[in-house]
Amino acid sequence: MEFSNKDQWEKNKPQVKTFPVPFALGEMKENISISTNNPSKPSKEEIINQAIEYHLQGNIQKASKYYKYCLSQGYQEPTVFSNYGLILKDLGKLQEAEIYYRKAIEIKPDFVDSHLNLAGILKNLGKLKEAEISLHKAIKIKPDLASAHYNLGNIFGETGNLQEAESSTRKAIELNPNYAKAYSQLGQILLKKGKHIEGIKMLKEGTGFISFCLTNGLSIN
């Protein structure tokens, strides 16, 4: 039985940074100018916040326009680089996304979300060892981050290091007892190790039991 990691990587959402609630900027012109002396002009923070708002709403076209404007203005804001990297990733532009995530980390080395996002990109590029390193950095910054342990278990599972995969995934469950995807991942790992009874139990606790039964021609009852 092969370890299946399809759709199991814990994906990250746009990072939200708390700013004052933005006013409606309307259709931003490419030549918009920013002036702190003119209260009618949007501030840097308001433009960034509006970009994030569009991103969270799923309006990728406008979010990209705002992020690119921020980048063109030389804003050294890690959230902008990381979130724009997320858009590039979703467009399949993985190498470009990697560049933006690394820039976000360069600006803010303890930006845990960027380490997580970079790990996901590296995994998709087949750079599993580098992805593992990025996850370890994220865990060093925030040891109680369940998703980082879960993703690390995913990496170990894919590389065949089942003992470490089990340990990392159990840690994710310890940190978040309601982590359904982690139970499913642990179930797959245990089945791969030949621990069928516990593996099935974990799959039932998670989200992978029905899929497992259908894949293997088993009754769901």
Summarised one tens digit per residue, pLDDT across range 93-133 is 999 999 999 999 999 999 999 999 999 999 999 999 999 99
Identify the CATH assignment for 77-215 out of 1.25.40.10, 1.10.3720.10, 1.10.1740.10, 1.10.510.10: 1.25.40.10
Locate the domains of the chain by residue range.
Answer: 77-215
Sequence-distant contacts of 165-172: CB under 8 A, at least 24 apart:
165/3, 165/189, 166/190, 166/193, 171/146, 172/146, 172/147
Residue of 8 and 141 predicted with greater confidence = 141
